[in-house]
Chains A and B, each alone.
Chain A
Amino acid sequence: MYLVADIDVDICAATSCKLCTQYCPEANTINYDDNAGKDKGHKYGSAYVAVDRCKGCAQCVWVCDNMAKHHAIKMTMIDQLPKAAITDRITYLDKGTKAIAAPVEVA
C-alpha cells in the first residue's frame, strides 16, 4: 500500500485558492472541478486528485498547510479511500474538468 493525497471537498470549496494545482510537480494530477462544491451548496468548485498519477510527495500538503493555511489536504493510504478519481474517468470541459469518483481497485 502507498500514500496518496486526498482533498477535503468541504474545506476546498469554501475557499478555492487553487494553489495546490500550481505547485504539484506532476502534470494533470491535481485537477479542478468547477461544480464539485456547488452541488453541495458551497460557493466555489473544488480541486481533486487523480490518484493513479499521484507519487505521494506531499508537496500539496505543505502548500495547503503553510501557504494557503486551509489544511484541506491529507495523505491517505490508497485502500482507505472510499472513492477516488483516476485519469480514465476524467472528462475535460470547456471550463474545468469533471471526474467520476468511484472505488479504486488496488492489486
Chain B
Amino acid sequence: MSLDYVKFSPGFDKFMPKEYRDMVEHGPFGKKTTVSQMGSFKEILEEHPMCAGCAMTLFIRLAMISFPNPEDTITVGTAGCGRLAISQAAVPFVYGNYGDQNAVASGLSRGLKLRFGDKPKDVVVMAGDGGMADIGFSMTLHSWFRKERFTTIMLDNEVYGNTGGQESGMTNKGQVLKMAPLGKKFEKMDMIGMAKLAGCAYVATVVPNNPRRVESVIKKAVLIAREIGPTYIQAYTSCNIEYSIPTDKVMEDAKSVETDRYAFSEHITDEAKEYLATRYGFKEYLPKPATAAALPKA
C-alpha cells in the first residue's frame, strides 16, 4: 500500500512484460492525472474481457483515472459484469461474496484506519445494481447507517446482464427483458432517497457521457469518505446486449436517458462542503464574499 508495491525487484525489470514496465515508468502513481490527459499516460486499467462498447467499462475507466491517490486505493467488488474489468487493474482488488461487498469494505476500511492511522487510504466499492440493491441490500444500507467511511459506487445497468437478462430492483416498471417476458410489475427502487435518509455525506447520480463530471464526482466522493462519512454514487451504465443498443449508439442512449430520467443530481452536507473547501481548496464551496449593497437608484 505505497508507491513501492508496484516497483520491480532490482535486476528483474528486463524480464517484465512491456505493459508492466510502462505502468511503473509512465503510470499515474504519485502524479496528478486528469481526464483531459487521457491517451498520453499509461492507465491503471488494463485489457479486460468485457463486451465491446460497454458503457460500464467506460465509467470504470473514468473512475480509475479519477481516483485522487491510486497508489493508496483498494477496490472492492462482487459478482457481476463490473468485476471483470475492475479486477484487471493495477490497484488491489478484493472480491466480496455475492452481496458482501459493503460488509467486506467496512472491515477493510476500519483495519486500514488501525494500521495506518491518519494516512489516507481509500476503499472504493464498485458493484452492480443486483449486488447492491437486491442481494447485498441489507449490507449496503447497514454500512451507511453505521457511517462507515468508504465510497460506494453503483454501476446501474438496470438488469442482471451477466446471467441473461433477469429483472433487478433497479429495472424500470414495465420493462420487458429476455428473462422477464411479462414486464416488471414494480417501480424502480429509490436508492438515492435511501442513501440520503441513511445519512450519506455525499450522494450523486451521474451518466458517463460527461467525462469531466464523472471525474469531479468521483474525486469529491473519495475525498469526503476519508474523514466525513459514507458516500454514494449511482451511475447509469447501459447494458447494450440486454437492452439491444447498437454499440455505436451507446452514447446517444446515455444522452437520452440522462434527459429522460437520470438527470445529474448532487446532495452534499454542509460539513462535507466545509471539509472540501478548507482541506482541498474546492473553490465552489469556499464561503462567498459578502455581496455589495445595491446601488441607490438615481
Q: Which residues of A are interface residues toward B (Cβ below 8 A)?
A: 18, 21-28, 30-32, 34, 47, 53, 55-59, 61-63, 66-67, 87-88, 92, 95-97
Is there contact, CB below 8 Å, between A23 and B211? yes
Q: Which residues of B contact A63 (CB under 8 A)?
A: 251
Q: How many residues of B contact A (CB 8 A)?
A: 33
In the bound complex, how far is the Cα of B209 from the Cα of A66, in angstroms? 13
Tell me whether B61 and A27 are in contact (CB under 8 A).
yes
**Interface of chain B, helix or strand or loop or mixed?**
helix
B53 near A28 (CB under 8 angstroms)? no
Look across to chain B and name the residue whose beta carbon is closest to the beta carbon of A92.
Answer: B26
The residue from A23, A61, A88 contacting B58, defined by CB atoms under 8 A apart: A23
Please list the 4 inter-chain residue pairs (A to B) with the smallest Cβ-Cβ separation, ordered nearest first.
Answer: A57-B53, A21-B39, A55-B52, A92-B26
Central interface residue in A27, A34, A53, A61, by most chain B CB within 10 Å:
A27
Q: Are the CB atoms of B39 and A62 closer together than 8 Å? A: no
Contacts of B41 in A (CB 8 A): 92
Distance (whole angstroms) from the CB of B47 to the closest CB of chain A: 6
A-binding segment of B17-25, B117-125, B195-203, B280-288: B17-25
Q: How far is the CA of A27 from the CA of B248 in the complex (A)?
A: 17
Instruction: Given contacts A21-B39, A32-B39, list 11 more A-B pairs with CB under 8 A.
Output: A18-B39, A25-B57, A25-B61, A27-B45, A27-B46, A27-B48, A34-B40, A57-B52, A58-B53, A62-B250, A62-B252
Contacts of B177 in A (CB 8 A): none
Cβ-defined contact, B39 with A53, below 8 A:
no
Contact partner of B248 (CB less than 8 A), chosen from A18, A31, A62, A95, is A62
Contact of B53 among A18, A27, A59, A87 (CB under 8 A): A59
Q: Flag whether B113 is at the interface (Cβ < 8 A).
A: no
**Chain B residues proximal to chain A, CB less than 8 Å:** 18-19, 22, 25-26, 35-36, 38-43, 45-48, 50, 52-55, 57-58, 61-62, 211, 247-252
Q: Is the CB of A97 within 8 A of B58?
A: no
Q: What separation, in Å, do the CA atoms of A37 and B265 have in the docked complex?
A: 40
Query: In the bound complex, what is the Cα–Cα distance between A47 and B61 (angstroms)?
Result: 18
Q: Are A59 and B248 in contact (CB under 8 A)?
A: yes
Chain A interface mostly helix, strand, loop or mixed?
Answer: mixed
Pick from B25, B61, B249, B252: contact of A92, CB under 8 Å: B25
Most-contacted residue by chain A among B53, B249, B250, B252 (CB, 10 A): B53
B207 to chain A, nearest CB (A): 13
Q: How far, in angstroms, from A25 to B19 measured CA to CA in the complex?
A: 18
Per the bound structure, the CA–CA distance linking A28 and B249 in Å amounts to 22
Report B-chain residues with C-beta under 8 Å of the C-beta of A67: 251
Assembled-state Cα–Cα distance A34/B39 (Å)? 11
In Å, the complex CA distance between A41 and B259 comes to 42
> How far in angstroms is the closest Cβ of chain A from B55?
7
A14 CA to B211 CA, complexed, in Å: 23
Least Cβ distance of B246 to chain A in Å? 8
In the bound complex, how far is the Cα of B38 from the Cα of A63, in angstroms? 16
Contacts of B249 in A (CB 8 A): 62
Q: Closest chain B residue to A22 by CB distance? A: B211
Residues of chain B within 8 A (CB-CB) of A96 are: 40
Cα distance, A45 to B45, chains bound together (Å): 24
Closest residue to B57 on the A side, CB-wise? A25
Residues of A within 8 A of B40 (CB): 31-32, 34, 92, 95-97
In the complex, what's the smallest C-beta–C-beta distance from B213 to chain A, in angstroms? Answer: 12
